[in-house]
């Protein structure tokens, strides 16, 4: 059993293959956090807690004159606002009398076989061959009749522990939740670095590492989405932790809306980590007899560095978060029309593009924005999901048939959450848009957003999307969102519940995506929000891949995909070869390098193949064949970051290694060329030390390649790339 309970000490111990998590209900019923880290002897780690009389750190009433007992100092599993703990809290509740002081005490627990699920929310799931257990600890408010149920999912083989919270109102009055964090971890001691991922549109998930100092450091989003600016994935590590050595802790929020990740280094050099919904746009009413479920956080620990931590998340998310047919089925190599022709197309032009693409080996043709309503530019038509047959020159079914006659699959772009004021839908239902009465709305790209917290709005959009999808043979859907939320107001909610709009919007999004995946189980859905504005674990539950960034420049993508790899597998990263000079940067990059980078993702093309030279077309044919050859290794192999592209001087490298060590693919991009420059060696990872491997016809022992490395070829042009296949010599 992965969940152990000592009834005498009321000590809970959760164990995975390599990690351990522990807490205990103390003599006053306070749930103390005692350990999260390396797996070891099952021992009561509360012995590490230091009790002392701390000035200006008060004591709970039941402690009487025990001045050494203060919640302001103790490590707690779920600290509350107004309890005498002045650090960042996990829960703030406003009661009917206007007060917000909350005290929680242990009231019981239960263990369940299998992994819990969350209604209407994404969550890690266990399969038949994966052992999982659930612990539910119930805390009771000392003054009002409501309960906080702390959920823990223990997935031993995945080395992962998940957390969620259910708040249950048993009183006879409404309560208002003003802050609900999904997880809290208190560390009694240690010098830590915080790793976060920041950015902007077309430059997402830049990696940054900072030493914790006294005070609060945080990242978050109040944009209604997880955002381009910060990602809901945090790492806490020792100051000396590297890719291969040292302790580190991962915290991944399975949620696609506003979030807040907080690290507080307190007055006694203790560290508190919190992760959950951002409280700024959140105030949720829980009526008598109702419950509120907080989104899930997936936690993992590694004592072998950041690389191992990432691989824990990669395996879990590939196999226990992404769902459906496309988790194990090879995804088709696609051509997206957007950067090739934008809005300038008709059916004949699209078929011509598809014909040339089919001859190169492309398997899926995607028609992007511009096929519906009055949509010649991005200022009109959103919300009118009616095929513009006049523009296409045919029905959508006829266009799809022509694409399929070429031996290709067909895909289509939608932006279901958006609406233009210049649209028939807005003219008929202006109240369906998010906007504050009496206030001019904030526009972005000349568009507003539909109120997805409303079921009637979702039902209307869903029915129109289904009419389109049912009118033709469509195997792929790109779900886009091209602005942040603002003017949060829903016409169907009363004044005292407008603080629920942002969260209900996300729940509405999930509801619609769930219905879509149930109705079209074989359809491949790719998430997108202006590229990587909603690249989070919550979306992966519904869309097994997400467009990584609107920046398709291969050299820019090195940093973007590097940062993304810390928390997400390459199988989730939408990545395409685009034309040069690149439209975002003007940079010229060799087509092989563009493919090397795009192959480290879902792989496809985003250009007008009709404009390609015969030489480039021949190269593309070879690239597609090569990607198919290495598909399993790239998509399911162990991923290793060999260098940081932002600090590497000459070469940036990364690697895919088979889980059994039988082969590896080393990917290298030359960042700079120096005349008469020094040689460069790259150490390979994930091989068998005692096996012999062949590289370009030469043989090397595995330990030699891992310890000494490979001498890389000298680059002869700027941004040249190399893909080096390393294969175990059999029969040794």
Catalytic residues: 480, 550
- Strands 364-367 and 334-336, by their bridges, are parallel
- Alpha-carbon distance of 58 to 231, in angstroms, equals 36
360 closest CA partner among 333, 383, 341, 337: 333
Q: Give CA–CA dist 638/646, Å, rounded.
A: 22
Angle at 479 between CA 570 and CA 397, to 5 degrees: 115
DSSP reduced 3-state for 595: helix
Whole-angstrom Cα distance, residue 658 to residue 639?
A: 9
Beta bridge partners of 387: 372
335 phi and psi angles, rounded to 5 deg: -120, 120
Rounded to whole angstroms, the maximal C-alpha distance in the chain is 86
Question: 434 — phi, psi (to 5°)?
Answer: -70, 110
Here the tokens at position 72 are 């302001």
Which segments of 156-296 are extended strands (E)? 160-169, 175-187, 192-200, 203-211, 215-221, 233-238, 248-253, 259-265, 271-276, 284-286, 291-293
Q: DSSP character for 53?
A: -
Which tokens hold the place of 436? 């504050």
| Whole-angstrom distance, CA of residue 113 vs CA of residue 111 | 7
Closest Cα to residue 115, out of 16, 212, 213?
Answer: 16
Q: Tell me the β-bridge partners of 410.
A: 365
**Length of the chain in terms of residues written:** 732
What's the rounded Cα separation, in Å, for the pair 583 and 593? Answer: 16
CA distance 442 to 676: 56
714 burial (CB, 10 Å; 0-12 / 13-18 / 19+) is: exposed
- Angle at CA of residue 275, ends 274 and 281, nearest 5°: 115
Per the CB < 8 A criterion, the answer to whether 276 and 294 are in contact is yes
Distances (CA, A) of 419 to 382, 459, 485, 486: 5, 15, 12, 14
The string of DSSP letters for 616-669 reads: HHHHHHHHHHHHHHHHHHHHHSEEEE-S-TTT-SSEEEEEEE-TTSSEEEEEEE
Taking phi over 0 as left and psi of -120 to 50 as alpha, with beta for the rest, 644 belongs to beta
At 411, is the secondary structure helix, strand, or coil? strand
């Amino acid at each position: 059993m992965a969940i152990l309970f000592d009834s005498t000490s009321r000590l809970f111990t959760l164990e995975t293959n390599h990690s351990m998590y522990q807490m205990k209900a103390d003599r006053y019923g306070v749930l103390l956090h005692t350990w999260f880290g390396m797996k070891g002897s099952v021992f009561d780690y509360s012995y590490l807690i230091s009790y002392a009389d701390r000035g200006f750190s008060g004591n709970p009433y039941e402690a009487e004159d025990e001045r050494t007992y203060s919640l302001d100092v103790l490590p707690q599993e779920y600290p509350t606002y107004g309890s005498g703990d002045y650090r960042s809290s996990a829960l703030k509740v406003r009661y009917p009398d206007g007060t917000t002081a909350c005290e929680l005490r242990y009231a019981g627990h239960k263990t369940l076989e299998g992994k819990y699920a969350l209604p209407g929310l994404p969550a890690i799931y266990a399969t038949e061959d994966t052992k999982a257990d659930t612990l539910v600890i119930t805390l009771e408010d000392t003054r009002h009749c409501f309960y906080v149920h702390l959920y823990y999912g223990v997935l031993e083989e995945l080395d992962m522990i998940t957390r969620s919270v259910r708040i249950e109102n048993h009183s006879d009055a409404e309560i208002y939740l003003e802050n609900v964090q999904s997880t809290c971890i208190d560390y009694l001691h240690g010098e830590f670095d915080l790793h976060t991922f920041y950015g902007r549109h077309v430059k997402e998930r830049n990696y940054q590492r900072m030493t914790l100092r006294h005070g609060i450091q945080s990242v978050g989003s109040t944009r209604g989405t997880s955002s381009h600016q910060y990602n809901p994935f945090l790492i806490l590590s020792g100051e000396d932790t590297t890719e291969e050595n040292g302790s580190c802790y991962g915290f991944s929020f399975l949620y696609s809306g506003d979030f807040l990740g907080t690290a507080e280094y307190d007055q006694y050099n203790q560290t508190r980590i919190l992760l959950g919904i951002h409280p700024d746009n959140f105030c949720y009413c829980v009526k008598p007899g109702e419950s509120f479920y907080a989104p899930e956080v997936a936690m993992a620990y590694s004592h072998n560095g950041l690389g191992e931590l990432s691989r824990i998340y990669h395996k879990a998310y590939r196999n226990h978060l992404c769902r459906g047919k496309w988790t194990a089925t090879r995804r088709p190599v696609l051509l997206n029309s957007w950067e090739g022709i934008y809005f300038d197309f008709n059916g004949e032009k699209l078929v011509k593009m598809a014909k040339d693409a089919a001859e190169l080996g492309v398997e899926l043709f995607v028609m992007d924005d511009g096929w519906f309503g009055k949509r010649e530019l991005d200022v009109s038509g959103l919300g009118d999901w009616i095929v513009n047959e006049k523009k296409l020159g045919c029905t959508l079914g006829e266009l799809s048939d022509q694409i399929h006659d070429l031996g290709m699959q067909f895909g289509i772009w939608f932006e279901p959450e958006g609406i233009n004021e210049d649209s028939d839908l807005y003219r008929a239902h202006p109240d369906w848009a998010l906007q504050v009465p009496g206030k001019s709305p904030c526009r972005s790209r000349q568009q507003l957003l539909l109120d997805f917290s409303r079921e009637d709005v979702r039902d209307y959009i869903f029915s129109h999307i289904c009419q389109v999808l049912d009118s033709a043979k469509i195997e792929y859907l790109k779900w886009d969102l091209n602005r942040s939320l603002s003017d949060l107001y829903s016409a169907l909610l009363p004044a005292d519940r407008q603080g629920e709009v942002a969260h209900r919007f996300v729940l509405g999004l999930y509801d619609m995506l769930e219905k879509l995946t149930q109705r079209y189980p074989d359809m491949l859905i790719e998430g997108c929000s202006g590229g990587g504005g909603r690249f989070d674990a919550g979306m992966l539950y519904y869309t097994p891949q997400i467009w990584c960034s609107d920046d398709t420049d291969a050299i820019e993508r090195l940093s973007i995909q590097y940062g993304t790899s810390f928390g997400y597998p390459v199988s989730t990263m939408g990545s395409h070869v685009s034309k040069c000079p690149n439209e975002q940067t003007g940079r010229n990059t060799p087509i092989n390098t563009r493919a090397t980078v795009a192959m480290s993702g879902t792989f496809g093309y985003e250009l007008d193949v009709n404009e390609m030279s015969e030489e480039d077309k021949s190269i593309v044919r070879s690239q597609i064949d090569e990607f198919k050859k290495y598909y399993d290794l790239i998509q399911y192999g162990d991923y290793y970051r060999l260098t940081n592209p932002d600090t590497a001087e000459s070469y940036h490298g990364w690697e895919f290694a088979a889980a059994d060590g039988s082969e590896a693919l080393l990917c290298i991009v030359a960042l700079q060329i120096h005349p008469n420059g020094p040689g460069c060696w790259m150490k390979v990872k994930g091989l068998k030390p005692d096996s012999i491997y062949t590289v370009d016809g030469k043989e090397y022992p595995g330990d030699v390649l891992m310890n000494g490395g490979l001498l890389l070829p000298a680059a002869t042009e700027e941004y040249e790339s190399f893909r080096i296949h390393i294969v175990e010599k059999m029969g040794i």
